[in-house]
A and B are shown apart, each in its own frame.
Chain A
Amino acid sequence: MKPAPFRYHRARDVHGTTQLLAELGEDAKVIAGGQSLVAMMNFRLARPRHLVDIGALRELDHLGVGPDGALRIGALTTHHTVETAPDEVLGTGFAVLRRAMGWIGHLPIRARGTVGGSIAHADATAEWCLLAVALGARLRVAGPGGQRLLPAEGFFLGPYTSVLEPDELLTEIVFPRPAPHAALTEFAERKGDFALVSAVVDLDIGAGRVRGGRVGLGGVAPVPVRVPAAEAVLAGGGSFAECAAVAAAAVDPPDDAGGSTAYRRQLVRALVERACTEAAEATERREAGRR
């Protein structure tokens, strides 16, 4: 199908964008890469009367590690840019993000889709939403009155819903600390499809032993979640299999056409254990330079 008519606005800078969004109100949508929004507009599931294109805001297309060791990703950075980022850009301890990109759609989707767009879209199974929650990212948001920095946990309110106000723009995603022993894995019926269940594990490894870690899951709740019970198993010296079993018992996944609750629990168990193993095996040197 073809999208409904709309008025097209091209943003010139961040401040102007938020001012324009404030003027236009609820009838406006921001478009970045458009890999979710244009499909929804073609189906007329979304019918914004105004479209604000931020594609020209080059100041939002950046990627690099600051002096504080945090990785800063501009909202307009594409998945493909992260996927192909050399070590000197991505910094030490963030290769998990590069490896995770292969799970997002296909090459042409990753070439257009943006990190900020994915997070602002707030799909409960999106890889970036899960990575942000599991790895404790902070999200910089600009509004007409200034900017705020929000923890990713708490940013998502439900499927396709976040705390972003209609006049606000997500400008930057900050991963505050390296995650050298982390992995994302997921299951989808077909390669490149939306994940049925996805898992991120970020292990704290010291002196060759697992001392704790973070476990995050997508596709088991309306938003990506962390699983404290499973993290407690890791902190207590439990095995990866125990951690996975506890994670599966702790969640209450939806029962729908994609899969039953029981099936999704099985997936949680398999994927958490797999992510734990991959996270433990992840070392920065082995994959230097290439995905």
Chain B
Amino acid sequence: MTTHPRPPDAADADALALQAPELQLMVLDVNGERHEVITEPRRTLVDVLRHELRLTGTHVGCEHGICGACTVLVDDRPVRACLMFAAQAEGARIRTVESLSAGSCGRPDELGDLQRAFRERHALQCGFCTPGFLMLAEGFLAERPDADREQIREVVAANLCRCTGYQPIVEAIEQCAAARRAARSDVRKEK
């Protein structure tokens, strides 16, 4: 006699999803481009960015909001892309690390000023946390262009870096902020 094993109750939902995952159409505005994605609602924003849109610059680390590797901008504010379902991001402007270099100096591969500051200050080693730090700093400096060193130190506590010891990251952000301030006052003088 043959017996057929029954899957345990707890796995029902998963078994169901494997047979017929519920799909949903999402329209996402990423780096100024409109994307239509058909995927499961349980996909987090970081997974959709990486797996559906192939924007693999955004990294995924802890998946519970501790490490900050997945930080992106949503409506200009830095947020954890692992703590947000992609469906929640419909209607919002999303910016990823790819946007920092794209076309800022006319060449698609040219690094942005924040990225150049990170390179000059050796603010990365293995580079895994870097996209998260860049977007954290980009969002923070947009809101607080006059941030001082202490405020920068406080904000980078949001993300984990296990290579640099943070000091070069703080210096890079400070250098970029100072350069942007100088550029702004030059523009004002010219006027």
A residues apposed to B, CB below 8 Å? 1-8, 10, 31, 34-35, 38-39, 41-43, 47, 49, 51, 53, 55-56, 80, 105-109, 111-112, 191-192
Contacts and interface: CB of A to CB of B under 8 A. Distances in A.
Given A2-B47, A5-B16, A192-B158, A109 B80 contact: yes
Contact of A4 (B13, B63, B64, B78): B13
Nearest to A78: B77
A239 B78 CA distance: 43
Contacts of A39: 64-65, 83
Contact of B71 (A38, A49, A105, A108): A108
B87 A112 contact: no
Which among A1, A43, A56, A108 has the highest number of chain B CB atoms within 10 Å? A108
Contacts of B88: 31, 34, 53, 55
B22 A49 contact: no
Contact of B64 (A5, A42, A106): A42
- Name the interface size band of chain B: 35 or more
Contact of B83 (A5, A8, A38, A192): A38
A59 B65 CA distance: 28
A49 B44 contact: no
A112 B79 contact: yes
A33 B47 CA distance: 18
Contacts of B78: 107-108, 111
A112 B84 contact: yes
Nearest to B90: A10
A8 B24 contact: yes
A115 B159 CA distance: 23
B83 A112 contact: yes
Nearest to B75: A111
Nearest to A38: B83
A5 B65 contact: no
A38 B41 contact: no
List the 7 closest pairs (A to B, CB-CB), nearest first.
A106-B158, A8-B41, A5-B17, A111-B77, A39-B64, A38-B83, A108-B78
A108 B42 contact: no
Q: Which of B22, B24, B63, B159 has the most CB of A within 10 A?
A: B63
Given A39-B64, A42-B63, A106-B157, A2 B42 contact: yes
B157 A192 contact: yes
Nearest to B42: A3
Given A4-B42, A39-B83, A108 B68 contact: yes
A49 B13 contact: yes
A1 to B, nearest CB: 7
Nearest to A192: B157
24 contacts: A3-B42, A5-B21, A5-B40, A6-B41, A7-B41, A8-B24, A31-B85, A34-B83, A38-B83, A42-B44, A51-B85, A80-B77, A105-B158, A107-B78, A107-B139, A107-B155, A108-B68, A108-B77, A109-B80, A109-B158, A111-B79, A112-B80, A112-B83, A192-B158
A106 B80 CA distance: 10
Contacts of B118: none
A190 to B, nearest CB: 9
B110 interface: no
A55 B84 CA distance: 11
A88 B34 CA distance: 38
A221 to B, nearest CB: 26
B143 to A, nearest CB: 8
A47 B24 contact: no
Contacts of B44: 2-3, 38, 42
Most buried by B among A34, A56, A106, A107: A107
Contacts of A108: 68, 71, 77-80, 136, 158
Contacts of A10: 87
Contacts of A31: 85, 88
Interface string B130-148: 0000001001100000000
A55 B45 CA distance: 15
Contacts of B13: 4-6, 47, 49
Contact of A1 (B17, B21, B63): B63
A5 B43 CA distance: 9
A80 B53 CA distance: 29
Contacts of A105: 65, 158
A4 B140 contact: no
